[in-house]
Amino acid sequence: MTEENSEILLNKMSKAYMDPEVEKIPELKKILLKHASELNENMSYIQVVTGLSNEISAYYLKHHSIPESVLNVYNHIKSEVRSGKIDADEMRKHALAAGILSFPINFGSL
């Protein structure tokens, strides 16, 4: 992805982070800060958006609501997938890899 894509996403994340509604929700602030830091550290754009969209989705599933500013971040990512700016297959690969890594597996007897 281009630096412009990263900059647009960072701006949307910054607006969400400074939203008074989000200010009251440490869990969302932590999610936004974590992924903004990853973008600033030059982590792969697709890895960042995969992790960010997954964490926003998980937050929504847990709480059944989400501030509009965070929803705007999520919808921006979704629009990039639809428009082809983000390769949906590549995003699925990253999501699958993240899911496999986070799935606890016990081998042998405990």
CA atoms within 13 A on the CB side of 107: 0
Alpha-carbon span 59 to 54, nearest angstrom? 9
Q: What backbone torsions phi and psi does residue 103 show, to the nearest 5 degrees?
A: -80, 120
Burial of 84 (0-12, 13-18, 19+ CB in 10 A): exposed
The pTM of this model reads 0.77
| Domains of the chain by start residue, with CATH | 3-102 (1.20.1440.50)
Give per-residue pLDDT as tens, 66-103: 999 999 999 998 888 776 666 656 666 655 554 444 44
